[in-house]
A = this chain, B = another copy of it.
Amino acid sequence: MDFISWKDIEFKDGFWGLRQDVLANATADAIYNRFDETGRIRAMNLNWKEGDPCRPHVFWDSDVAKWMEGTAYLLYHRPDPELSDKLEKIIDAIEKGQTEDGYFNSAIMTLVPEKRFKDRTNHELYTAGHLMEAAVAHYEATGQERFLKIMEHFADCIEKAFVTEKTASFKTPGHQEIELALLRMYHATNNPRYLELSAHFVRQRGLDPNDRVFSVPNGTPPAYPPCDNQLYYNDTYAQDDAPAHQLEKAGGHAVRAMYFYTAMAGVALETHDEDLFNACRRLWNDSTGRKMYVTGGVSAERYGEAIGTEYVLPLELSYAETCASVAMANFSKAMFCLEPDGKYMDMIELEMYNGALAGLSLDGKGFFYDNALMCRPRVTDFFKGIHATPLYPPYERQELFECSCCPPNIYRFIAAIGQYFYSTDGHRLFVHQYANSSASVAWGSGKITLEQKTEYPWDGDIAVTLHGKQSFPGEIALRIPGWCSSADIRVNHQPVPYSMKNGYAYICRRWQDNDLIQLHLAMPVTKLFSNPNVTETAGKCALRRGPIIYCLEGIDQPEYDIFDMCLPDSYNDFSLTTMTIAGQKVTAIGGVAMVSDPEAFSGPLYTTSLPHRRPAPMRAVPYYCWANRGVNDMTVWIQHNG
């Protein structure tokens, strides 16, 4: 299975074209400037001195690296000499700063060079991995090998410290990432040692009971009160509790987990490791089937930024880290390579339009780290300064975080969104995602161009025109999303035979230049209900249309309390309207909800009769658009009476 590179697909307009424009016009600078102001960029020059402001931090290189990676993607289709210059200057710094034997971590080298590979919590392999991903992106985008070579040198240094000479004081990364980065290095260089090193880290993890991030044994009750984060941590936190192929349940720190599972799937694929594949399948099924928000959020547990436990999905106290959603998309892509099932691409789509996308403001300058499923600003405000640790996700996106992993992660995700659109497998071409775009695909013995015209995700009509060879046989597999119960497929306006398998409509025929595939995906507004094991959402429904999950925002129903609004079971008469949020057109859902009479709100705290209810207009907006119009109540889950 070969996925078409992010660079071979271009979004000039439409949903993703607009989002990438925003990246280019706002996000690239917004992130760079915040990183510059906070010393992250200049830390790469290794000239910070005691007494200077902005003391370097061990994971800062990863923030910068993800910005570099995203910028490399972005510049390919949207050249910008100034931005390019910024990127190259950071590469200069890394090149200059790298030790003779290949090591680089700006904080360790500046502050405690003697601590190199001495402390598993120091994120050195995590930052190395992100730098490697940036180098691969840069190489793919520019064809220049400079940065890639620097990182190859670093990879060699790591191999020496952890495999050949074993000089490192620990065995596996405290925070996974390098495993999947090494797989990308392997694909970029064809050097099998990087695959071997990745597989080494994947298979070594959980084997040695002394190779632990923290010294707190499993199950030890934390001392009260807490003095630092370590008290939340146990072996599950960093997936140290068992060897990879024995992991039964998705658990621990969600980003570490998702990065690790992605690498596990990659290693399983490359090494034909059925046990590891089965473990990946278990972990994917567990995290998506029992531990995932309807938006695609995969960390339900704030403390430890963790996946949490099955069917426990708190709404107002959700975590749903943006990075974890991005990582879930990549885990799903890796799973698809192991078994071509549409459910994996459905999951990517869920993250693309919801869980991950909500992490970025529509103006491209604000970010959510943790994502609320329900938000009452008056409550959050009341508890500000009372809770010692923040209990609630914020209700406004921020420009920067102390741990600012999410902004450059959603940036690189959107910049390379094309990577999820097409793949080929011999004579078969998979069309996974739908968006206005133009792609160049190596298929069979030559190249063809695929032109998608669509208003997707607002409309289910997609026209795909093939340009290229005069005539060629082949099978095109169109993903029929899991949310779609009625699809219509035509080629050149004529119905065609196709077979459905695992979420794909397979059309096998002799294709001609200029063939037009017309796909219609019915997109009714649908109520979603949760498994009855999920106590938090009992008696509630969520609204979905196409791939988009909707929410209620207070601003759209200023006269009502959105948490009081209730949709009767019999009600399905939703309407659609186009509206503008922060200058961007979106499709909103209109409807009629039942609300309590106003008097009830000023009435007694408890009564023996249900307050009288009356119909009221209700409007739902795409979840990813929330918090773009000021401070606001929000809920994904709506009271439902049925």
Contact with B along A246-288 (1 / 0, CB 8 A): 0000000000000000000000000000000000000000001
CA–CA, A383 to B221, complex, Å?
A: 10
Chain B hits for A388, CB < 8 A: 222, 224-226, 231-232, 303, 389
- CB pair B610 A642 closer than 8 Å: yes
> Nearest residue in B to A220 (C-beta to C-beta)?
B385
- CB pair B531 A600 closer than 8 Å: yes
> Nearest residue in B to A542 (C-beta to C-beta)?
B606
Query: Does residue A110 face the partner (Cβ distance < 8 Å to B)?
Result: no
Contact with B along A212-230 (1 / 0, CB 8 A): 0000000111101111110
- CB pair B607 A529 closer than 8 Å: yes
Contact with B along A367-387 (1 / 0, CB 8 A): 000000000101100111111
Chain B hits for A219, CB < 8 A: 384-385
- CB pair A532 B601 closer than 8 Å: yes
- CB pair B376 A535 closer than 8 Å: yes
Query: Does residue A312 face the partner (Cβ distance < 8 Å to B)?
Result: yes
Per the 8 Å Cβ criterion, residues 579-610 of A in contact with B are 596, 600-601, 603-610
CA–CA, A533 to B227, complex, Å?
A: 36
Chain B hits for A564, CB < 8 A: 532, 535, 538
- CB pair A607 B225 closer than 8 Å: no
Chain B hits for A340, CB < 8 A: none
Quote the shortest CB–CB distance from A464 to chain B (angstroms): 27
Query: Does residue A569 face the partner (Cβ distance < 8 Å to B)?
Result: yes
- CB pair A569 B610 closer than 8 Å: yes
Interface residue count on the A side (C-beta < 8 Å):
73
- CB pair A530 B225 closer than 8 Å: no
Per the 8 Å Cβ criterion, residues 607-639 of A in contact with B are 607-611, 639
Query: Does residue A294 face the partner (Cβ distance < 8 Å to B)?
Result: yes
- CB pair B385 A309 closer than 8 Å: no
Chain B hits for A304, CB < 8 A: 386
Query: Does residue A360 face the partner (Cβ distance < 8 Å to B)?
Result: no
Query: Does residue A534 face the partner (Cβ distance < 8 Å to B)?
Result: yes
Query: Does residue A116 face the partner (Cβ distance < 8 Å to B)?
Result: no
> Nearest residue in B to A483 (C-beta to C-beta)?
B608
- CB pair A601 B531 closer than 8 Å: yes
Chain B hits for A561, CB < 8 A: 532-533, 535
- CB pair B382 A312 closer than 8 Å: yes
- CB pair B604 A389 closer than 8 Å: no
Chain B hits for A387, CB < 8 A: 222, 232, 303
Query: Does residue A154 face the partner (Cβ distance < 8 Å to B)?
Result: no
Query: Does residue A486 face the partner (Cβ distance < 8 Å to B)?
Result: no
Given A312-B379, A539-B641, A569-B610, is A221 in contact with B530 using a C-beta cutoff of 8 Å?
Answer: no
Query: Does residue A351 face the partner (Cβ distance < 8 Å to B)?
Result: no
Query: Does residue A175 face the partner (Cβ distance < 8 Å to B)?
Result: no
- CB pair A382 B309 closer than 8 Å: yes
Chain B hits for A379, CB < 8 A: 309, 312
Chain B hits for A292, CB < 8 A: 605
Query: Does residue A79 face the partner (Cβ distance < 8 Å to B)?
Result: no
Query: Does residue A323 face the partner (Cβ distance < 8 Å to B)?
Result: no
- CB pair B376 A609 closer than 8 Å: no
> Nearest residue in B to A391 (C-beta to C-beta)?
B303
CA–CA, A611 to B541, complex, Å?
A: 12
Partner of A526, one of B541, B542, B605, B608: B608
Quote the shortest CB–CB distance from A601 to chain B (angstroms): 5
Chain B hits for A28, CB < 8 A: none
Quote the shortest CB–CB distance from A190 to chain B (angstroms): 40
Chain B hits for A529, CB < 8 A: 606-611
- CB pair A528 B220 closer than 8 Å: no
CA–CA, A642 to B569, complex, Å?
A: 10
CA–CA, A433 to B231, complex, Å?
A: 49
Quote the shortest CB–CB distance from A537 to chain B (angstroms): 9
Chain B hits for A610, CB < 8 A: 529, 541, 569, 640, 642
> Nearest residue in B to A388 (C-beta to C-beta)?
B226
- CB pair A533 B601 closer than 8 Å: yes
Quote the shortest CB–CB distance from A74 to chain B (angstroms): 33
> Nearest residue in B to A252 (C-beta to C-beta)?
B386
Q: 30 A-B residue contacts at CB 8 Å?
A: A220-B385, A224-B389, A224-B390, A225-B227, A226-B389, A227-B227, A232-B388, A234-B386, A292-B605, A301-B386, A306-B386, A309-B378, A312-B376, A312-B379, A528-B606, A528-B607, A529-B607, A529-B609, A529-B611, A531-B604, A531-B605, A532-B596, A532-B600, A532-B611, A534-B605, A535-B564, A539-B566, A539-B640, A610-B642, A641-B642
**Sorted from nearest, which 6 A-B pairs have the closest CB atoms?**
A226-B388, A532-B596, A535-B563, A539-B539, A309-B382, A532-B564
| 20 extra interface residue pairs, beta carbon distance < 8 Å, beyond A292-B605, A530-B605, A532-B600 | A219-B384, A219-B385, A224-B388, A227-B227, A232-B388, A288-B605, A289-B605, A303-B383, A303-B386, A308-B382, A309-B379, A388-B389, A528-B608, A531-B607, A533-B601, A535-B563, A535-B564, A538-B566, A538-B639, A539-B639
